[in-house]
Structure 1
Amino acid sequence: MTRVALIDDHESVRLGLQGACARADDQQVAFSGSTVTSYLDWRTFSSSPPADVVVLDLTLGDGTTVTENVSRLVRDGSSVIIHSVADRPAAVREALAAGAAGVVSKSSRIDDVICAIHTVSRGEQLNNVEWASAVEGDRDFADAQLSARERDVLRLYAAGLPLKVVAERLGVAYSTAKENITRIRVKYVDVGRPAPTKVDLLRRAMEDGIVSPTGLEAETVTTGGDGER
């Protein structure tokens, strides 16, 4: 059962999503409210575990920022889907950079939102029109100035291959491939898009068009021979 939290300052939106989740056999709405703070307060007082997926409105009425809201939820242990009218690409990019797993437009069918919850609950990234339009052509967001070698290493490593196999495929020493991964992480930090885990590196590679869901070398990101996720 996927535990879902709905955070939107429009009650009608929350009620619609809550009804749709109730119709799904494997989704349970654990919380419905208008702010991230109210959700985290509820978590504290109820001693409930974090929701598996939080469906979050891009802009709330309490004066909080997109980065603040997404970062707090990700740090708390939830995956975040932005549910928005998607007419503010800069804000959507900000949410993705803060760690959101993807975005679904409020103009989408309710079944699309439910499918997005399914996708994210499996640890996968959303790759839809809203997501693509938010990052396409934005050099400040997309360009970490990776070299050709670093892009090759990231493409294979983020797609699920152990670092040892990446080195073998590229004909370089393991230590060289490892050094490339270190430099890649430093470069992403430098542009405000940290990637401390292998899943984060996959997200960055997808954002930059280095890998795509249809072109992954492995079907899922798994623990490789280097012991990293």
Structure 2
Amino acid sequence: MTRVAFVDDHESVRLGVEAACARTGNTEVIFSGSTVTAYLDWRRGSNADPADVVVLDLTLGDGTTVSENVSRLVAEGSAVIIYSVADRPAAVREALVAGAAGVISKSSPIEDVVGAIATVARGEVFNTVEWASAIAGDRAFADAQLSTREREVLKLYAAGLPLKIVADRLGIAFSTAKENITRIRVKYVEVGRPAPTKVDLLRRALEDGLLSEFPAGADGARRQP
């Protein structure tokens, strides 16, 4: 059962997505409200575990920034999906840098929103046209100044190859490949885009144009970014 919280200052929007989630039978809506502060206060007051996924509006009426809201939710242990009209690429970039798992437009079919929640809850990379357009051409966002070798290692590793196979493909020692991954992670931290997991590294590779499409999933299908 996926535990979901909705933070949006438009009640009608929240009610629609809540109803769709309820119909799945495997999603429990544990909170619905208009601010992140209200959610955190509720959680502490009820001593509840954090939501697996928080669906968050890009702009709330309480004056908070999207970076602040995403950072607070991620620090609590939740994955965050930005649910917005997605007409503000700069704000979407801020959300992604702060740790949001992805963004989906409020014009998307409701089943796509439910599917996005399930994808993020499984710990998988979630990408959309809105996500891609928010980072396109933004070198300040994309530039971690990786070396040629580091880019080669990241491209193969993020595409799903085990690190030993990556080393073999590039004709380098396993220890060298491992050192490259460590340096890559350090460089991403230095530019405010941490990548502690392999899924995070996949996101960074997509953001930086090292991969043109998602690696095949368990079903063998490929998904375009």
* Residue in 1 that maps onto 2:222: none
- Counterpart for residue 49 of structure 1: 49
Q: Is the 8 A contact 1:127 1:213 kept in 2?
A: no
1:195 is displaced (CA, Å) by: 1.8
User: Is 1:78–2:82 an aligned residue pair?
Assistant: no
* 1:130-187 CA distance string (max 9 Å, x none): 1111111111111212222111111222234332332122110122112211221222
Q: Distance in 2 between matches of 1:162 and 1:111?
A: 34
Secondary structure in structure 2 of the residue aligned to 1:161? coil
RMSD, aligned α-carbons:
1.8
Aligned to 1:179: 179
| Alpha-carbon contact 2:160-2:215 (below 8 Å) kept | no
The CA distance in 2 between the partners of 1:68 and 1:151, in whole Å, is: 31
- In the alignment, structure 1 segments of 5+ residues that lack a partner are 221-229
Match of 1:95 in 2: 95
Write the distance in 2 (CA, Å) between the matches of 1:12 and 1:175. Answer: 54
What amino acid is the match of 1:161?
L
Q: TM-score, normalised by structure 2?
A: 0.90
Per mean C-alpha deviation after superposition, the further-off stretch among 89-98 and 163-172 is 163-172
Shift of 1:124: 1.1
SS of residue matched to 1:100: coil
Equivalent residue for 1:150?
A: 150
Q: Which residue of 1 aligns with 2:122?
A: 122
One-letter amino acid matched to 1:141? F
Cα deviation, 1:56-82, whole Å, max 9, x if unaligned, reads 001111121111111111111111100
User: What is the rounded CA distance, in whole Å, between the counterparts of 2:149 and 2:197 in structure 1?
Assistant: 20
Q: Give the aligned partner of residue 161 of structure 1.
A: 161
1:122 alignment partner AA: R
Q: Distance in 2 between matches of 1:143 and 1:12?
A: 40
Aligned positions of 1:132-151 closer than 5 A: 132-151=132-151
Gaps of 5+ in 2: 220-225
Correspondences of 1:182-221 after superposition (within 5 Å): 182-211=182-211, 214-215=214-215, 219=218
2:32 matched to 1:32? yes
Q: Quote the offset at 1:117 in angstroms.
A: 0.9
Structure 1 length-normalised TM:
0.89
Give the partner amino acid of 1:115. Answer: G
Cα 1:71–1:183 change in 2 (3 A) is: same
How far off its partner does 1:87 sit?
Answer: 0.5
Partner residue in 2 for 1:224: none
What secondary structure sits across from 2:214 in the alignment? Answer: helix
Shift of 1:26: 1.2
Aligned to 2:10: 10
Measured in 2, the distance between the counterparts of 1:41 and 1:60 equals 17
Give aligned pairs, total: 219
Cα shift at 1:219: 5.0
| CA drift at 1:9 | 1.0
SS at the partner of 1:103? strand
Q: Secondary structure at the match of 2:64?
A: coil
Between 87-96 and 115-124, report the one with greater CA deviation. 115-124
Residue 213 of structure 1: CA displacement? 5.0
For the residue of structure 2 that corresponds to 1:107, the secondary structure is: coil
Displacement, 1:54?
0.6
